[in-house]
């Protein structure tokens, strides 16, 4: 996934993020890539942010939706019915006033590089379905084949 790898600059990330944002019916999307610290990531780019705070946040394993994706390496959904505690605990959900979110691991485009995390969010109470999570994950994998 060339344009969604940690080595891509922000200007290369934005078109891919915009495409995923529009195709998912979301209000917000962010990409996190590796930070300097081991097992830590940082939000590198965001579209639809209310205040720009997200790009200053680091992701630690197990903290917030990004941290859960980082820790488990799988998709993670948050809404009133699924993992509801994260609505009140996740720094990104709080800063962006998100009511539903989907965090997805982004596969690495090279064996010696870390992948990343995509976080999609909605400000209306419209949860992401399992089918949407699978469709968006498939889109990320297809983009990686380019």
Q: Tell me: the pLDDT tens digits for 130-141?
A: 999 999 888 777
CATH architecture of the domain covering 2-144 = 2-Layer Sandwich (3.30)
Tokens of 8: 């891509």
Q: Give tens-digit pLDDT for 108-127.
A: 766 655 589 999 999 999 99
Confidence of residue 145 (pLDDT cuts 50, 70, 90): very low
The pLDDT value recorded for residue 68 is 94
The pLDDT value recorded for residue 30 is 96
The pLDDT value recorded for residue 2 is 42
The pLDDT value recorded for residue 115 is 80
Ramachandran sector of residue 32 (left: φ over 0; alpha: ψ -120 to 50; beta: rest): beta
Tokens of 124: 């209306």
85, burial (CB in 10 Å: exposed 0-12, middle 13-18, buried 19+): exposed
Q: Are 95 and 66 in contact (CB under 8 A)?
A: no
Can you tell me the mean pLDDT for 24-49?
A: 86
Tokens of 115: 């992948």
Domain map (residue ranges) of the chain: 2-144
Q: pLDDT at residue 6 above 60?
A: no
Q: Give tens-digit pLDDT for 52-68.
A: 999 999 998 899 999 99
68, burial (CB in 10 Å: exposed 0-12, middle 13-18, buried 19+): buried
pTM of this prediction? 0.86
Can you tell me the mean pLDDT for 98-116?
A: 81
Tokens of 141: 């994998």
Q: Are 12 and 31 in contact (CB under 8 A)?
A: no
């Amino acid at each position: 996934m060339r344009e969604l790898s940690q080595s891509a600059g922000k200007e290369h990330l934005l078109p891919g993020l915009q495409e995923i944002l529009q195709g998912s019916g979301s209000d917000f999307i962010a990409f996190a890539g590796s930070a300097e610290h081991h097992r830590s990531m940082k939000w590198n780019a965001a579209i639809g942010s209310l205040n720009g705070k997200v790009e200053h946040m680091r992701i630690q394993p197990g903290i917030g939706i990004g941290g859960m994706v980082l820790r488990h390496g799988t998709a993670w959904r948050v809404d009133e019915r699924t993992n509801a505690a994260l609505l009140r605990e996740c720094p990104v959900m709080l800063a962006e006033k998100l009511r539903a979110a989907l965090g997805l691991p982004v596969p690495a485009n090279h064996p010696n590089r870390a992948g990343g995390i995509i976080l999609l969010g909605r400000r209306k109470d419209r949860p992401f379905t399992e089918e949407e999570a699978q469709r968006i994950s498939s889109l990320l994998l297809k983009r990686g084949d380019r």
